[in-house]
Chain A
Amino acid sequence: MFENLTEKFQRVFKNLRGQGKLTEEHLDAALGGIREALLDGDVNVDVADELLARIRAKALGSEVLLQLSPDQQVLKIVRDELLELLGKHAKPVFAARPPSVWLIVGLQGSGKTTTTGKLGKWLTQGHRPLVVSTDVYRPAAREQLAQVAKAVGVSCWPGAGTDKPLEIAKGAIREAKLSASDVILVDTAGRLHIDDELMAELGNLKRELQPSEILFIADAMVGQDAVHSAGDFHRRLGLTGVILTKLDGDARGGAALSIGRVTGAPVKFVGVGEKYDALEAFYPERIVSRVLGMGDMLTLIERAEQAIDQKKAAELERKLRHSEFTLADFGDQLKQVRKMGPLEQVLGMLPKVGPFANLPRDAQVDESRLKHVEAIINSMTAAEREDHDLIDGKRRKRIARGSGTSVQEVNQVLKQYMQMRKMMKQYGALAAQGRLRGLNKVRGALQQMRQGEEATEE
């Protein structure tokens, strides 16, 4: 397996650490590693080289040389430069006078139609969206959007009776006015940036519809060519934003940096799954943190906060301290974790340092096995859940039958519970000794960054 960007940066910076002063030689060694990391992560080679040249100049010429340790210095410069490319967090734009038109554009297969559905769903909170497909080329494309719209409960203008994209879109605008819809999402056919005729068609749609957003939908798996496709779309249309899709896979998404460089348009959302609510706001800070080895702690903590019932969390903390962690708590924990989203995704967001360094990330987390565990715990009596010592051989058999599993599986769950209990005890002891300052630090940093984000949103 390839090392990912995060791991590579960590290795590079580990080498830099412990050196009193940053020499040109050290710097070049570090930059070489960073270059490879960026390229493995699909950042365009020209973009990467330009970036490295700037980082080098800044690192050598900077006065902070004396104040920060060498790795901190480089890390800060790298981070700032990457952030610079990604631009500021930006919110979607609505027209001064409704209805607003958002034009959804991109290459074939990038995820335009699914994203249109997600945006439609997202807009239903506070808006009345109308979606329309102008893809008159791909078989069943308009039918696809109609079905997606139905699934997310958003109106769809079928545009029956014509196969001219502009006419279809204009019909949607008339319909929006009649039905008091305030945002029209215009899905377009996927096309190559070098297809002159089809690019001209988009130019025409732009001229006639005066969209407040022209959103470029980009697949996170795209490689070096991103600079060409995004660059051409931008030159012809003037993109206002980018949506990066399929980020739930293991692509490193360096294309975001390439696209940022050639378009200057901010990433406004990211797609993280096939379900229609798998659309998230994009925070450059977070992606950069992830790239630099801090993991996507912010997103993770935010999600954990949403999913975990605060009262239960406090109660759990008390129990931890007094080693009263029961099977019932174990079951609760599982449920909470599952609410945070697919486990693989959650694991992927953890930084690869400290306590998380050795998590088996490649190992596929089998969600169905979690369900078995839950079923087993549900098949226990309340008394058994409070006191695992009660569960003898006979009870194990009963639990296995009740949960549709085997005695071996029940044994395994009990073993896992015991292990977790042991871990929790250690954790509890640590907490009691006040050794969890690290965690509080993370919390503090999170709060600071939040405030920073809010400030930029103004």
Chain B
Amino acid sequence: MITLFGNNEPPPSLLERLKKSVGKTRSEIAARVEGIFAGDRRLDAEQLRRLENALLAADVGVRTTKEMLEVVRQAADQEPLHDTGHLRAALKRQLLGILSAVPAKSNGASADVRPRVIFVVGVNGTGKTTTIGKLAHRLHEGGSTVMLCAGDTFRAAAIEQLAVWAGRTGSELIKQKPGADPAAVVYDGLAAAPARDVDVVIVDTAGRLHTKSNLMQELEKMKRTAAKLVPGAPHDVLLVLDATTGQNGLSQAREFTATAGVTGIVLTKLDGTARGGIVIPIVRELGLPVSFVGTGETVDDLVPFDAQTFVNSLFD
């Protein structure tokens, strides 16, 4: 039984970790929002302006920021004697509402499908291969056997990189030569999975810009190959998104969802100072859940996304 995306609360230690990493450098947004909430002043234009800038500085984007502010403004109109606590709560509720409107998908696949096939996709350099290492570790800890499939046959030394992660996490590795057809690697992996008796197959893919149609078609082909060997595969398609990404993230999510059928997002590099606010419009528009967040470069630095923690970490 593989509980990859279950709703189970992360253990407190993970919560603490996330909080610590997200709050490591006091975010602009936290500082600014607290500035706004300090004192019991009326909600004036200047306050709204600062609130707006705070959200914008977190990459939430113009449109979503505008719409969220509109709700806060309305709430303020209804309660002329609002205090800072009210405003803070209203804003948090809104963010939370957006982020938790989407249930953590178990992606239509029953939890005991075997092998469970996971594709990891995204633009160049977002942290796909590292996330695969972390995910394999996590699954391994949960008692699953894992196979990694070296579907990035394009980037120099991508196969070697994945091989290191396979070694570190005690996973099986299926690879071909550089330049090989990635779909053929998927074929090899899934054909070998039953004999090697693995529970989960994770397919690494080459980083690709979502605007390159030929490369996006290559992903489709990999998916078709997977479905031929394992009905319903891939069961999960994780889009790895770098938390430093700006408004282009929405375009990435749209295109990868359209061609690769993304089922969840992994938000990486949250250990930096970027807040990853772009996931808010993404979740809102595309209804994709954020499945995990990456908070560093070691096997332990992957935690399930928790909306409450994410939102709190912006304000606390």
Q: Are B248 and A221 in contact (CB under 8 A)?
A: yes
B247 touches A2 (CB 8 A): yes
**B210's closest neighbor in chain A, by CB?**
A249
**Chain B residues in 8 Å Cβ range of A143:** 156-157, 160
- C-alpha spacing A226/B243, complex, angstroms: 12
CB contacts (< 8 Å) of A194 on chain B: these are 24-25, 272-273
Q: Which residues from A are CB-within-8-Å of B214? A: 366-368
- Taking CB as reference atom, which chain A residue is nearest B165? A139
Indicate whether B244 reaches chain A with its CB closer than 8 angstroms.
Answer: yes
Q: For residues 245 through 304 of chain B, which have their beta carbon under 8 Å from a beta carbon of chain A?
A: 245-252, 269, 271-275, 278, 297
CB <8 Å contact, B248 and A42: yes
B127 near A193 (CB under 8 angstroms)? no
B213/A250 in contact, CB under 8 A = no
Q: Is the interface of A mostly helix, strand, loop or mixed?
A: loop
Q: Given A140-B157, A194-B24, is A246 in contact with B278 using a C-beta cutoff of 8 Å?
A: no
Q: Which residue of A lies closest to B271 (CB)?
A: A192
Contacts of B269 in A (CB 8 A): 107-109, 192
B206-243 interface code vs A (CB 8 A; 1 in, 0 out):
00011111100000000000000000000000000011
Q: Are A221 and B272 in contact (CB under 8 A)?
A: no
Given A42-B248, A137-B297, A254-B246: A224 and B161 interface contact (C-beta under 8 Å): no
Q: Give Cα A434 to B124, complex, Å.
A: 48
Please name all residues of chain A whose beta carbon is closer than 8 Å to the beta carbon of B242 when the two chains form the complex.
Answer: 109, 219, 221
B157 touches A107 (CB 8 A): no
A222 and B62 contact, Cβ closer than 8 Å, known pairs A139-B160, A246-B124: no
Residue of A nearest to B159 (CB): A140
Residues in B with CB closer than 8 Å to A366 are 213-214
Nearest Cβ on chain A to B183's Cβ, whole angstroms: 16
Interface flag for A456 (CB, 8 Å): no
List residues of chain A with CB under 8 Å of any chain B CB.
2, 36, 39-42, 44-46, 49, 107-111, 113, 137-141, 143-148, 151, 192-194, 219, 221-226, 228-229, 246, 248-252, 254-255, 274, 344, 364-368
Task: Pick the contact of A229: B212, B244, B297 (CB < 8 A).
Answer: B244
What residues make up the interface of B, taking CB atoms closer than 8 Å to A?
24-25, 53, 56-59, 61-62, 123-127, 154-158, 160-161, 163-165, 209-214, 242-252, 269, 271-275, 278, 297
State whether A139 touches B53 (Cβ < 8 A): no
Q: Give complex CA distance A6, B124 in Å.
A: 25
- Of all chain A residues, the one with the shortest Cβ separation from B60 is A224
Q: Which residues of B contact A226 (CB under 8 A)?
A: 244
Question: In whole angstroms, how far apart are the Cα atoms of A274 and B273 in the complex?
Answer: 28
Most buried by B among A39, A143, A146, A344: A39
Question: Which residue of chain A has the shortest Cβ distance to B296 in the bound complex?
Answer: A192
Tell me which residues across on chain B come within 8 A of A40, comparing CB atoms: 61-62, 247
CB pair A107 B244 closer than 8 Å:
yes
**Within the assembled complex, what's the spacing in Å between the Cα atoms of A6 and B249?**
19
